[in-house]
Chains A and B, each alone.
Chain A
Amino acid sequence: MQKRFFLQAVALAAVSLTVTGAMAQDNTFKIGLILPMTGQQATTGRQIEAAARLYMAQHGDTVAGKKIQLIVKDDTSLPDATRRLAQELVVNDKVNVLAGFGITPSAMATAPIATQSKTPMVVMAAATSSITQASPYVVRTSFTLPQASVALADWAPKNGIKKVVTLVSDYGPGLDAEKYFKERLTFNGGQVTESLRVPLRGPDFAPFLQKVRDAKPDALFVFVPSGAGAAVMKQFAERGLDKAGIKLIGTGDVTDDDQLADMGDVALGVVTSHHYSAAHPSALNKKFVEEFTKANKGLRPNFMAVGGYDGMRVIYEALKISKGQGGGDALLAGMKGQIFESPRGKMFIDAQTRDVVQDIYLRKVEKKDGQLYNVEFDVIKDVKDPGKAK
């Protein structure tokens, strides 16, 4: 019986080998969008895909005489899967650009492919500083954690926050945030009394927050991947840290627009620094938020979405500049140095580092017409990624 089963399997294999053969037409311009669409990072994928599709809907799908084709792949945030998919997209589907990349390892694993195949690789989410150094073909349109955390470290001391405990998720971005926040804060005369790292899959924050409470700092600086933010704030309040006079500050991931609406009053007054808020007061952003929400049954765009949106913008413009001629390098050249207004505000792609340079806003969570928003009250202009300085 197993023999029969086995031959069946082989047959199935043969069939699907012939079925899924990819053929590339010349006048199409293919964007391979690799994202975590399932598993714990799924939201990232959804936001970015939605934003990308929105951009195409708004700006048409023909650029420089080429038909834009978006190929979405799910890497289940497994780096080796990301890499394989990228490789297949490059080799089989002959994509012109790789884009997406939800988590740092995925981006890191794929970078060599970009280099080897001279395919530009637009990072729309992953935020560890070092990614852009992994390959000369990496261009980032999201943000880096040093950017966000440094801005906060500048603001804090001016506002009577001297003693801070940091609490970050124990992986690349978290460590970045911890490192640069600490450096800048000490530079500004503040001090980090304790640095806590929570395991990525640690379900309960209680013990850590208890530790914070016992340490009695002026403020708690938090970075956790979007999603976990809500839990932190609730338990922060439940543990009475706010009553104990401890402020909660963090990068914008904590008050992710994606969920802010459901977080409830515990989030009120939380001060974060980030590059994008759905409440950013600009015509462009209003339009963006409106149409995004409309297109996705009420889902509010978050910083991931804007990363995807601007990523598409960068690709479109680069294609225009290169007139669809000359492969990856021409495209890359077109991406470098782009300056434009994004829903997040003014931003540009640094020609040297290929990393995003943008304004970082300080925001406080407030109620606007019944809903919670990150309302920007201060801005630090043109923040380069401090990670590149060293």
Chain B
Amino acid sequence: MTMGVQSSLLKDSRFKAWEPVLWLLAFAAPALSPSHALIINEIAIVALFAVSLDLILGYTGIVSLGHAAFFGLGGYVAALFAKLVMPDPLVGLAVGMLAATLLGALASFTVMRGSDLTRLMVTLGVGLILLELANKLDWLTGGADGLQGVVMGPLLGRFEFDLNGQTAAYYSLTVLLLLFLLLRRVVHSPFGATLMAIRDNRLRAMAIGIPVNARLAASYTLAAAVAGAAGALMTQTTGFASLDLFEFHRSADVMLILVIGGTGWLYGGVAGAIVFKLMQDAISSITPQYWTFWIGLFLVVLVLVGRERLLRPWTWFKRPSGGGKA
């Protein structure tokens, strides 16, 4: 019966049948519909960003409105690296991630104390300060005009970043997949379990010997690294970096996206990114002026009706099934 226990423990970490299907679909998409390579690229990047937020928000229970800080730093560093040092994307990616990791480690001390609101504001403040910093260092970052003259070299020395965005899409998708698998492994490991323990009940987590602050720092730093990767992908595939990488609304959007998809479930970030971006793209091409209204309406309905029931209309007029998994 040990197998019983062990297998049901390992059940979660095992791959479900639909997962490979999904990824195959994702990787087929740019080829099947080349005209959407660009939006697919953007979705992949946003998804990665959202997934990184899920690690701290969904699994560790840290609310953050400043996640763009890492996104932006990773982006700027990668772009500057390409401009000033060498144009190789992968090295740039690594450097961008490294920078974000360091910042994350540093910033992790700010999220150890206080209520949700406090954390919300502190993280937000960190993001805004970096924004100001990038603005003031215009000799380096190009200030509010953005950083020009970023020319990326070919990927692996072979694939140029083409106008159709094929290379970009596959680049981003691959990085997304790799980091996703990494995080997937992390959250199903004992380490991941201790994070969830902290999320659920800090007091008890401490009472069973989990060094809470160290764990918080670890997960925050890891999330920062991944967010940095997303930022790096963004600037590398657009060949441009500007202040809005740090903007408050980036952090807000990514949180929306994550919550739409559902937190504490890495695929939530991916789902949210797909739904949100495609919806925005579709609606805003119909009504470029007022698309925000419809997005807003969607969010309101989503919450009022509840995530699950929204997808099962026949349940709308029965009793609420009590809240989304947020």
Contact = CB atoms under 8 A, between A and B. Distances in A.
Interface of A: 1-10, 12-14, 16-22, 35, 37-38, 42, 45-46, 72-74, 78-80, 83-84, 87-88, 90-92, 104-105, 108-109, 111-113, 116-117, 128, 130, 134, 170-172, 175, 200
A80 to B, nearest CB: 5
A17 B33 contact: yes
B267 A17 contact: no
Contacts of B262: 2, 5
A87 B38 contact: yes
Contacts of A171: 143-145
A4 B289 contact: no
Q: Could you say which of B244, B265, B270 has the most chain A C-beta atoms within 10 Å of its C-beta?
A: B244
Nearest to B234: A80
Q: Could you say which of B234, B267, B289, B291 has the most chain A C-beta atoms within 10 Å of its C-beta?
A: B289
Interface in B14-32: 16, 18, 22, 25, 29, 32
B274 A13 contact: yes
A6 B145 CA distance: 39
A91 B38 contact: yes
Contact of B271 (A6, A37, A46, A108): A6
Contacts of A84: 38-39, 42, 238
Contacts of B265: 2
A109 B238 CA distance: 8
A88 B164 CA distance: 8
A108 B148 contact: yes
Contacts of B42: 80, 84
Say whether chain B's binding surface is mostly helix, strand, loop, or mixed: helix
8 contacts: A9-B274, A21-B35, A72-B288, A73-B284, A73-B288, A74-B291, A79-B244, A108-B240
Contacts of B16: 3
A130 B144 CA distance: 14
Interface string B42-54: 1000000000000
Nearest to A36: B288
B307 interface: yes
B240 A79 contact: yes
B22 A21 contact: no
A280 B14 CA distance: 73
